[in-house]
Every structure is written in structure tokens, then in C-alpha cells.
Amino acid sequence: MTTEAGRAREKAQPCEIYEEFETDIQPLKEQIRRRAYGIWLLRGDQDGSDVAYWVQAEEEILREIKR
């Protein structure tokens, strides 16, 4: 299930998404990629949901950074 923030993030330009975070984008994207891969593995290697996994991973990582 995609949250309202996730839907808004999908519509935003990539630079807008990370603007509020003071971090280098490449390491952040690598963290998100790894988390999305982990979600994919946990869900049983189901193809066709890569965007949903990426958005979920992105929300989790960015939430951690905001703390």
C-alpha cells in the first residue's frame, strides 16, 4: 500500500525528493536500492512490483534520516 507521501514522491522530480536532506544523493540511492532489494527478497522474489518496493524503501530510509 502506497502512502500519500509516497504518491506525492512518485510525482516529484528526483532532485525535489532529496532537497530537504543534507546528504550526498549517490550513497542515499545505494541505501534505497539495497533496502528495495531486501524487500523484494522478503516478498518472495515477485517481479512487477519494483516501483512499489523502491517507494517503500525510500520512505523507510528517508524516515530514518529525518530522526
pLDDT in tens, 21-54: 555 677 888 999 999 999 999 988 778 888 999 9
What's the pLDDT score for residue 1? 46
Q: What phi and psi, each to the nearest 5 degrees, are found at residue 44?
A: 85, 35
pLDDT at 2 > cutoff 80: no
pTM: 0.61
Cα distance between residue 63 and residue 9, in whole Å: 13
More confident: 54 or 7 = 54
Q: Which burial class, exposed, middle or buried, applies to 56 when counting CB atoms under 10 A from its CB (0-12, 13-18, 19+)? A: buried
First to last CA, the chain: 23
